[in-house]
Amino acid sequence: MFESKPAHELSVEETVSLTFRLYVDNFGIFFTPYLIFSIISALLSLPILSCIQNITKITGPPEVVLPKLLNMLLTLMALVFVIAVISWIIGSIINGVLIKSASDIIENGKTSLSDSFKFVVSKLPSLLVASLLVGILVVLGLLLLIIPGIIISLMFYLVIPVVIIEKKGAIESLTRSRELVSHRWLKTFALSLIIGLIIGALAFAVNLILTPLGTYSSLIGTIISSLIAPISPISSAFYYYSMLAKEESRKIPPPPPPPF
């Protein structure tokens, strides 16, 4: 089903409803990239788990154990850092691909994952720099009594859609996101909170259900997580178009006064 570009500012309820409708109607397009990402993430975690297991197996006198333990801990820290960077890059690409795909469907009624992937890779430097800047600013804001961090996260809520859809650079995207969400701080907070609660509630329910399954829970959990995750980038794409409609409506001049 083709979801046309919103001609008016959407309510939070409309944004959430359209998000789920678009996701269900194009399930394979949005589920597949996240499933691949989840599998890659699971594989990347294996060296870390192996390193932790090796640390627990170290035995011997203190003069032997301590040097080995230090070396293993340094190896573990290096592994965690490298894998975190790789996961961040792959995750940024996947989010970008889903936002690009959602945008293509909203604007044109169709999309291509391969074309979306190629486009996002071409924008990867801007995407990474923008997300890194936002992350640093949000963390600094959270350290300043939390509230500034929340405000910064709302201010830059649409940074990634701006980079992908408007093809802006990293610094430009921050300014543009702030312009789009201006005068809609509470609405942006409500949408981010609702999407976060939906994803969190679904993830909690899944973990609760899967706990008795033991060894199979990890595999099934990976698949279920891939089902839940696309909700966020799709909703951000719709919210971008909603704020764009709000902005465009303000440019329309008021009707002329009646002649009498």
pLDDT digit string, tens, across residues 238-251? 999 999 999 888 77
State yes or no: pLDDT of 218 exceeds 70.
Answer: no
* pLDDT for the residue 177: 95
Range from 80-84, 144-148, 171-175, 229-233 carrying the lowest mean pLDDT: 144-148
Give the whole-angstrom CA distance, residue 148 versus residue 73: 35
* pLDDT for the residue 106: 94
What contacts 24+ positions apart, CB below 8 Å, involve 197-204? 198/16, 198/231, 199/228, 199/229, 199/231, 199/232, 202/228, 203/228
Give the whole-angstrom CA distance, residue 56 versus residue 91: 31
Q: What is the pLDDT of residues 141-170, one digit of tens each?
A: 988 878 888 999 999 999 999 999 999 999
pLDDT tier, 259 (very low <50, low <70, confident <90, very high otherwise): low
The helix/strand/coil state of 61 is coil
Range from 47-51, 105-109, 157-161, 244-248 carrying the lowest mean pLDDT: 47-51
State yes or no: pLDDT of 1 exceeds 60.
Answer: no
* pLDDT for the residue 86: 93
How many Cβ atoms sit within 10 Å of the Cβ of residue 127?
A: 24
Per the prediction, the chain carries an average pLDDT of: 87
Q: Are 160 and 176 in contact (CB under 8 A)?
A: no
* pLDDT for the residue 257: 64
Q: Are 178 and 156 in contact (CB under 8 A)?
A: yes
* pLDDT for the residue 258: 63
- pLDDT: which is higher, 208 or 134: 134
State yes or no: pLDDT of 173 exceeds 90.
Answer: yes
* pLDDT for the residue 211: 66
pLDDT tier, 233 (very low <50, low <70, confident <90, very high otherwise): very high
What pTM was computed for the model?
0.87
Q: Which residues of 217-232 are buried (b: 16+ CB within 10 A; e: fewer)?
A: beeebbebbbbbbbbb
Percent of the chain with pLDDT over 70: 90
